[in-house]
Structure 1
Amino acid sequence: MTKPVRTEAELIAMARLELKAHLDCPDGIAISVLRDGASWEFRATAGDATVASPGYPECVAMLVQIGDHLSKQYDVS
């Protein structure tokens, strides 16, 4: 059985919604989709000021969990 396919933009939007529902993340976090063969994961990048902001590590950790969950449900186009 194949998984439904979503675009990178759709997956990133889904991740941002879930992050917003669970945590108060600092502004300035860029999320990208990193592909590795048939699998994929989210990658977070940010400037030094954002990285130093309270809550940044928790947001990145939550993003990893969200990516793990979504990658089991969706393929990326």
Structure 2
Amino acid sequence: MSKPVKSAAELIAMARAELKVHADCPDGIEISVISNADSWEFRAAADAGTVAKPGYPECVAMLVQIGDQLGKQYELKD
């Protein structure tokens, strides 16, 4: 049974919505989707000022967890 397909933009929007509910993330975090073979994952990036803000490490950790969950539910659209 195949999983539903979502675009990178849709997956990022879903991740941002989850982060708003579960974490107090600083503004300025860029989220991207990295595809490899038959899976995908989120990547977070930010400037040094954003990285230094309280909550950034927790936000990135939460993003990894969200990506794990969404990766089990959705395929990435090419």
TM-score above 0.5: yes
Q: Deviation of residue 23 (structure 1)?
A: 1.0
Question: 5+ residue gaps in structure 1?
Answer: none
Percent identity among equivalent residues?
70
How many residue pairs are counted as aligned between the two chains? Answer: 77
Q: In the TM superposition, what is the alpha-carbon distance from 1:24 to its structure 2 partner?
A: 1.1
For the aligned residues, what is the CA RMSD? 0.3
Q: Secondary structure at the match of 1:41?
A: strand
Q: Which runs of 4+ in 1 moved over 3 A?
A: none
| Matching of residues 49-68 of structure 1 within 5 Å | 49-68=49-68
Aligned to 1:16: 16
- The answer for the alignment partner of 1:6 in structure 2 is 6
- TM-score when normalising by structure 1: 0.99
